[in-house]
Amino acid sequence: MRVLVTGSAGFIGGHVAEALEAAHHDVVGLDLRNGQDVQDSDVLDALLPGADVVVHQAAKVGLGVDVSDLPDYARVNVYGTAVLLAAMARHGIGRLVLASSMVIYGEGRYECAEHGRVRPGPRTVDDLERGRFEPPCPRCGAPLTSAEIDEDAQPDPRNAYATSKLAQEHLAANWARQTGGRVAALRYHNVYGPRMPRDTPYAGVAAIFRSELEAGRAPKVFEDGRQRRDFVHVRDVARANLAAMSATAPTGPTEPTTVPAAVTAAVPATVPAGELRAWNIASGTPHTVGDMAAALAAERGGPEPQVTGAYRLGDVRHIVASAARARTELGFHAEIGFEAGVKEFAWS
């Protein structure tokens, strides 16, 4: 199968391209590092003919530095995706695997003992300055219990990157409805692993911690370090992309095919024509941000993490995935555990 991979020289895109090649697909790469811009229609018109599916990884990532990043997030992630989708329509390519993100959820799922499931609002500067990091119940102010969030949760993006990733999903859904295409949107949780970018504020927290340790400095942990995340290894993410490609495959004249729930683990789901289907891509085993810093420091022999109490307004407190849909519909589950993954990553 001929596959166009955007962002093919990037951290995740590079691993996806390698996994596709190992599975004997014909991979066509597009990456800004090679002078190819997903916003360039001429480049797309040269690379898209003959492609069976597009795996769209190219993006500006991370929380960013300040509001000066807003134009780039809109230009690269939103406009770039729009240009790609228009080109796919011109060339009659009807299958898309989209690298989305858990950031579209905002805060994760929370339960109040009195009011049940609630969605807390953004944390206030006053609370953060006072070290009150846990979001309270928006109805009674009581403490909340965090729980797993599934793909049916209402989006609530709380920073520019999150907004741009949700916009990508909306644009892809528009494209699918108008062209009869199929979209598998993979909502990555906290991806880490070999070849993760170094020394940049746009990298994930694991890369920032590792860069500090490589320089002989203690990793600086924001808030109290108890923020819960799901850290998923990049090679598992690459495998999820292969599974998602199968989910976008047409099923013939009887489409859409409904797969009984009892056998979905054995028979991957198929995205119906004209629709977008989303999956959380996660390890299924949450850890705190402090856990990641401590594990990396221990593997490299210190220095030990420094919990600073600092904060960023665009951050959320807890975001923990339900991995059930990907397991039952894609047959995907993470294979690389936290301990083994961190051990490799610490020195990669």
Query: CA 193, CA 207: separation in Å to the nearest integer?
Result: 9
Q: What are residue 325's phi and psi, to 5 degrees?
A: -65, -45
What b-and-e string marks burial along 200-222, b requiring 16 or more CB atoms within 10 Å of the CB? eebbbbbbbbbbbbeeeebbebb
Q: Residue 258: its pLDDT value, please?
A: 37
Both tokens of 181, joined, read: 């295409």
Separate counts of helices (H) and strands (E) for the chain: 11, 15
Domain boundaries defined on the chain: 2-108+149-347, 109-125+133-148
Q: Give the span between the Cα atoms of 287 and 321, in whole angstroms.
A: 11
List the beta bridge partners of residue 185. 98, 278
Q: How far apart are CA 75 and CA 47, in angstroms?
A: 21
pLDDT category at 269 given cuts 50, 70, 90 is confident
Cβ-contact 333, 270 below 8 angstroms: no
The single-letter code of the amino acid at 51 is A
Asked if residue 260 has pLDDT above 60, the reply is no
pLDDT tens digits, 312-334: 988 999 999 999 999 999 999 99
Cα-Cα-Cα-Cα dihedral sign, residues 333, 280, 60, 291: negative
Tell me: pLDDT of 93 over 90: yes
> Which residue type is seen at 256?
P
Question: Which CATH number fits the domain 2-108+149-347, given the four candidates 3.40.50.720, 3.40.50.150, 3.40.50.12710, 3.40.980.10?
Answer: 3.40.50.720
More confident residue, 313 or 12: 12
CA 39 to chain centre: 21
Please give the model's pTM, rounded to 2 decimal places: 0.94
- Ramachandran angles phi, psi of 97, nearest 5°: -105, 120
Q: Which of 244, 57, 96 minimizes the C-alpha distance to 178?
A: 96
How large is the average pLDDT for residues 203-230?
Answer: 96
* Nearest partner of 66 among 309, 314, 310, 311, judged by Cα: 314
pLDDT at 261 over 80: no
